[in-house]
Amino acid sequence: MVRPPRLRVDCFALPPGVQWTSVEDALMHLKANLAPVTVVERVPAGRAAGRILAAPAIAARDNPPAANAAVDGYAFAHAATGEGDNILPLVPGRAAAGVPFTGWVPEGHAVRILTGAVLPEGTDTVEMQENVTVEEGRIAFRGPVRHGVNVRRKGEDVTRGKVLFPAGTRLRFNDIPLLVAAGLGEVPVFARLRVGVLSTGDELKAPGSPLGPGQIHDINRPMLLTLVERWGHEAVDLGHAPDRREVVEALLDRAAGEVDAILTSGGASAGDEDHLSALLREKGQRHIWRIAIKPGRPLAFGLWQGVPVFGLPGNPVAAFVCALVFGYPALARLAGGTWPRPEGSLLPAAFAKRRKAGRSEFLRARLGADGRVQVFRSEGSGLVSGLSWANGLVHLPSEGNDIAPGDPVNFLPWSAFGL
């Protein structure tokens, strides 16, 4: 297996003096500094859906590999036909799929041919059987017929040597037929990115368990594990760490030997109990990015024993939005994929909003039956019901222009983030 080099120690370092980073600059920095971290392996083409190509997929043969009949009928040389009635003698035998006609068809003669059969030597045109009368070893049909009609030309779909998909393409289920048709039995792909998910905080309890005073259920870990799986990576549950430095450190040490990247939630700021942030600063590499984004703001990026760590906010909605905006493209790049850029649509707003300049905003939103974009009733980052209510996000840029009903806004459906 081919193993890529480790990430540079300074891959997350921002230019000196940067205090606040725009969403666009943050994404450009990640794109420029991240690289694939997983090994390359070969898998059967028929099992490659969802995998990321480590090298271009190049057609090994023409498709079709030879000219063949598109219909059941009769093959002949077009040069022997003309206007009006055409009568051609039949040569003995026939051409069928998988059983080619072995002889040569003289000009002015025809031969029986079935769908998918290789076109016999001496022929270039096929007339479908519905248009032909057969009698006493001859066929009759009315001309003119078009040269090459009902014939699939050699290589008309794909020619040998053509690049089917560039390196970095995540293959879809509907790409598999093309790989196989082009003669590829195996393709080189990156091993699935193993992404560990860790949540931190004394207040967190396992989903469904009884809650004591001041406790809440751990929303972020199952949410992030689900996102990782939907993005085609291997999700590794690293569990939950209480606010104890030695426990967080032990979990990070274990994770460094098991995963290729780590997503954490909580503990990534600079408070008394933000042990993740402190450990990255003291024993790894840590960079706190203050992103001009709502919801979100502070994000921690770093390396632990060479493994990239993405420290997301503890607030569930902020963690979700930041995972989509930053985690989705960053993990795709680490996995060997091309950098995905979410594509939205400009649609009329069904809401009004006054805004100040300076921060990009991502609002939970959904498309109404009238084609206008609605936003959730509250921007409160703790209201997770808004995630279930929404079917996408509205991205409001940092320029800060006010929004009135009917104004165009950029609506990003969940599919824009690979979901």
Q: What is the DSSP letter of 231?
A: T
How far apart, in whole angstroms, are the C-alpha atoms of residue 335 and residue 321?
20
| Burial class of residue 417 (count of CB atoms within 10 Å of its CB; 0-12, 13-18, 19+) | buried
What SS3 state is found at 56? coil
With contact defined as beta carbons under 8 Å apart, do 86 and 142 qualify? yes
Is the N-terminal amide bond of 64 cis, ω within 30° of 0?
Answer: yes
The residues of the chain that CATH labels 2.40.340.10 are 345-417
Work out the number of other CB atoms within 10 angstroms of the CB of residue 92: 9
Torsion of CA 298, 302, 307, 313, to 10 degrees: -10
**Residue 202 pLDDT:** 81
Cα dist from 65 to 23, 94, 116, 155, whole Å:
49, 20, 11, 6
Give the integer Cα–Cα distance in Å for 65 and 160.
9
Give the tens place of pLDDT for each residue, 11-27. 777 777 667 888 998 89
Give CA separation, 235 vs 49, 197, 326, in Å.
18, 7, 17
* pTM of full prediction above 0.85: yes
Residue 267: which region, alpha, beta or left (left: phi > 0; alpha: psi -120 to 50)?
Answer: left
Structure tokens at 276: 């993740």
What are the residue ranges of CATH 3.90.105.10 in the chain? Answer: 43-59+157-190
Gap between the Cα atoms of 302 and 347, Å rounded = 38
In the block, tokens 């929303």 appear at: 219
Phi, psi angles (nearest 5°) of residue 374: -100, 150
| The predicted structure's pLDDT at residue 319 | 93
Domain with CATH 2.170.190.11 in the chain: 68-152
**Whole-number pLDDT of residue 75:** 98
Domain 43-59+157-190 has CATH 3.90.105.10: yes
In the chain, which segments carry CATH 3.40.980.10?
23-39+192-334
Question: What topology does CATH give the domain 68-152?
Answer: Molybdopterin biosynthesis moeA protein; domain 3 (2.170.190)
**Residue closest to 101 by CA, chosen among 109, 110, 93:** 93
pLDDT of the residue at 272: 46
| Cα–Cα distance measured from residue 315 to residue 238, given in angstroms and rounded to the nearest whole number | 19
CATH superfamily, domain 23-39+192-334, is MoaB/Mog-like domain (3.40.980.10)
pLDDT of residue 12: 76
pLDDT of residue 244: 84
Indicate left, alpha or beta for 33 from its phi (over 0: left) and psi (-120 to 50: alpha): alpha
Beta-strand runs (E) in 73-152: 73-76, 84-95, 110-113, 125-128, 133-135, 138-143, 151-152
Positions of the chain with pLDDT under 70: 1-3, 5, 17-18, 267-274
CA 286-289-292 angle, 5° bins: 170
What is the homologous superfamily of the domain 345-417 according to CATH? MoeA, C-terminal, domain IV (2.40.340.10)
| Cα 58 from Cα 12, distance rounded (Å) | 35
The three-state secondary structure class of 45 is helix
C-alpha count within 13 angstroms, C-beta hemisphere, residue 66: 12
CB-based contact 284:305 (threshold 8 Å): yes
What tokens were used for 246?
């030695």
CA–CA dist 150, 358 (Å, integer): 62
